[in-house]
Amino acid sequence: MTATSFSVVLLLPLLASAAPFPCETLAKFVLPDTSITLAQSVGAGGFTVPAGYRPGPGDPQATALAAALKELPPFCRVAATLKPTPDSDIKVEIWLPEANWNRKYQAVGNGGWAGSISYSAMAQALRNGYATSSTDTGHSTAGGSFALGHPEKLIDFAWRSEHEMTLKAKAAIKAFYGDDPKLSYWVGCSSGGKQGLKEAQRFPDDFDGIVAGAPVLNWTHRSIEAMWIAQGALKEPASYIPPEKYPLIHQAAIAACDQKDGLKDGIISDPERCNFDPGVLECKDGSDQQCLTHPQVEAVRRIYTPPQNPGTGEQLSPRFEPGSELAWRPIAGGPDPFAAANDYFKYVVFRDPNWDWRNFNLDTDAALADRVDDGTINAASADLKRFVAHQGKLILYHGWTDTNITPQATIDYFNRVVDQMGGAAETAQSVRLFMVPGMNHCGGGEGPNVFSMVSALERWVENGKAPDQVMASHLTGGKVDRTRPLCPYPQMAQYQGTGDPNDAANFICK
């Protein structure tokens, strides 16, 4: 150790406890393509969302949002508008703890088409001592219509706003505390998971650790899947699956596949081994109660079947899994297809607000969509070598009963990463995937779905302790009624044969 580095080490605790620069001085901070619109010290519990604030897709609404924002510690609130191109209008917020900064930066991701600052996720990071930031990704409207006639705004959404936000947040941290963050993390699910992957692929030095949940890493093919389901379940009224029949289908799927994972616990933990055929539910005696008509059976079969190119037989997307039935409303509840996918074809691929999904062609339109995206929104590159060379750690997770993003897509991606990195052992040093049985999109569901991937990532990056398992809980009415370890794929939690199957202690990852 040199004398210089020794003195730096000694200085760090002093700097951490020293009062930062006054927040308001950041208003005069000059950064490229940036207007600072607010730099304001916010006292403990003093933050309220701006008038007219609309939480982003997947963010807590109203009461839950108010609860998430309660009792925040004092912080310096910086708001800025970034204009990396003349058509850009990227709003960002950067929140800097005024005391007890943990010397780390945590950027938080968005859901769906974004269009809103993720205050609730920022609040959680702030409460844990982080300097944090969020962006609206360059537009303030809901859905995908912003992209029409605005190719630069589409790029801002796809990856530029997140990278620009990160650069500016790090600069603001340095200006405020007089020092860089010692570590930087990205934490997101859904679009936020995709944003994290995009950062790892495109800007591998931005973050030391990334949590990417249920990443919509192939927006194009996920949207094709939506058209496949819509054409089979929504185009003809006879094929419509009434949502009140979802529980019937769910119970039949559970009955067929629950035991195949080795434990009858009401959860299909290994859907890859489940080939449930809804034909068993077909009405026999003229009744249409507690059974499915033939067209409904066909529609359900379609949801369980990966779409293929009718000409080449190429699989275009994984399926949604048996066990997910209770969460089918967004994909099969109609009257239109899954909203984010419908907007994608309207505003990005066909650039026609009047485009009608009923005319989607699985052969030619799927190929067109691939050509149009050309890696803009999609974050499907399995080459993470530069991120790994930067000592980055990536935790992926995905719920098996997710009906927004097909779970198998994340497994397929992980397997491609393993191939690129030269094998499972090599990959496990830097990238791990946790499949979550019975969890819906980014949370919820009948399986244990409450866990902290951020804590697992911190232990990995900061203490070198790779996550061999992650503890998960299921709550009913605020009370824990089941715990279970989540395991690094391809391992699964295996019941050891004795003891309470609701207690994680009786499971091992294998």
**Residue of the chain from 87, 179, 258, 336 that contacts Ca ion (CB under 5 A):** 258
- Among 24-32, 175-183, 254-262, 383-391, which window interacts with Ca ion (CB under 5 A)? 254-262
Considering the complex, state which of residue 68 and residue 267 has its C-beta at the smaller distance from Ca ion: 267
Q: Return d(Cα 256, Cα 83) in angstroms, integer.
A: 55
Instruction: Establish if 365 lies at the interface with Ca ion (CB under 5 A).
Output: no
- Among 228-236, 238-246, 252-260, 356-364, which window interacts with Ca ion (CB under 5 A)? 252-260
Residue 240: helix, strand or coil by DSSP?
A: coil
Q: Return d(Cα 29, Cα 92) in angstroms, integer.
A: 15
Least Å from the CB of residue 322 to Ca ion: 12
Residue with tokens 């938080």, as numbered in its chain: 108
Least Å from the CB of residue 258 to Ca ion: 4
Residue 119: helix, strand or coil by DSSP?
A: helix
Residue 300: how many CB atoms within 10 A of its CB? 29
Residues comprising the chain, all counted = 510
Residue 497: how many CB atoms within 10 A of its CB? 9
Least Å from the CB of residue 263 to Ca ion: 5
Q: Return d(Cα 125, Cα 137) in angstroms, integer.
A: 19
Least Å from the CB of residue 323 to Ca ion: 9
Least Å from the CB of residue 260 to Ca ion: 7
- Among 219-227, 255-263, 413-421, 445-453, which window interacts with Ca ion (CB under 5 A)? 255-263
Residue 20: helix, strand or coil by DSSP?
A: coil
Q: Which of 250, 398, 441, 474 is catalytic?
A: 441
Four-CA torsion 69, 70, 74, 79, nearest 10 degrees: 20
374 neighbors 158 (Cβ within 8 angstroms): no
Q: Which two tokens stand for residue 363?
A: 């052969």
Contact letters for Ca ion, residues 453-472 (x by CB under 5 A): --------------------
Least Å from the CB of residue 401 to Ca ion: 13
Q: Return d(Cα 33, Cα 370) in angstroms, integer.
A: 32
163 neighbors 184 (Cβ within 8 angstroms): no
Handedness of CA 302, 307, 313, 318 (dihedral sign): negative
Instruction: Establish if 59 lies at the interface with Ca ion (CB under 5 A).
Output: no
In sequence order, the β-bridge partners of residue 483 are 473
- Among 103-111, 222-230, 257-265, 352-360, which window interacts with Ca ion (CB under 5 A)? 257-265
Q: Which of 90, 194, 92 is nearest to 139 (CA)?
A: 90
- Among 143-151, 177-185, 263-271, 272-280, which window interacts with Ca ion (CB under 5 A)? 263-271
**Residue of the chain from 261, 325, 373, 458 that contacts Ca ion (CB under 5 A):** 261
Contact letters for Ca ion, residues 265-294 (x by CB under 5 A): x-x---------------------------
Q: Which two tokens stand for residue 136?
A: 């609206």
Contact letters for Ca ion, residues 210-249 (x by CB under 5 A): ----------------------------------------
Least Å from the CB of residue 473 to Ca ion: 17
Considering the complex, state which of residue 419 and residue 481 has its C-beta at the smaller distance from Ca ion: 481
67 neighbors 82 (Cβ within 8 angstroms): no
How many residues in the shown chain lie near Ca ion by CB under 5 A? Answer: 5
Q: Which of 191, 343, 402, 474 is catalytic?
A: 402
Instruction: Establish if 321 lies at the interface with Ca ion (CB under 5 A).
Output: no
Q: Tell me whether residue 402 is one of the annotated catalytic residues.
A: yes
Q: Return d(Cα 220, Cα 374) in angstroms, integer.
A: 10
- Enumerate the active-site residues: 190, 402, 441
* Binding interface with Ca ion (CB under 5 A): 258, 261, 263, 265, 267
